[in-house]
Amino acid sequence: MLAVGPADHLVRDEALLPCLHDKDAEVRRLCEIALQSRGLRPEHLRLGRLLTHPIATMRLQVLDELNSSADLDPALWLRRLSHDPSPAVRAGALRMMSERANLDLDDRMEQMARGDPSPTVSSLARFYLRESRVQPTRAER
């Protein structure tokens, strides 16, 4: 952790985030220090912990955090959640993508519609895409 902490060009933040849940308290501590040294603020660390939590219901809490924080880039976090191993988390991310007209995430929604491992999530993606194409754009209103 000490060697890769400052090497953000070699090891991305996303690769370190799961270490925030390591069984070894010292690894968790060093990981947090490494991420802070890269400029991550406390809210990013909190979200990173939620995003990589081993329990899916905890990862779903990222959606609530995105609604309550103006400092975060929701597109970044929603894209990440849309690749979650849990279909429930992917469905939640998909729902929020569809509600945020100001975010251009149609490309990811189309990918999910075509190839999500869950037939339910694929179906939801097709539904949300159809709905977004039926809704008038802001310029048309």
Instruction: Provide mean pLDDT across the span 22-48.
Output: 90
CA angle 122, 52, 1 (to 5 degrees): 140
Average pLDDT over residues 84-109: 93
Domain extents in the chain: 1-40, 55-134
Amino acid at 114: R
Enter the tokens of residue 71: 């400092």
For residue 80, name the pLDDT band (cuts at 50, 70, 90).
very high
Task: Give me the pLDDT at residue 2, please.
Answer: 53
Helices 25-37 and 42-51 pack at an angle, to 10 degrees, of 130
The model carries a pTM of 0.81
Residue 135 pLDDT more than 80? no
Average pLDDT value over all residues in the chain: 87
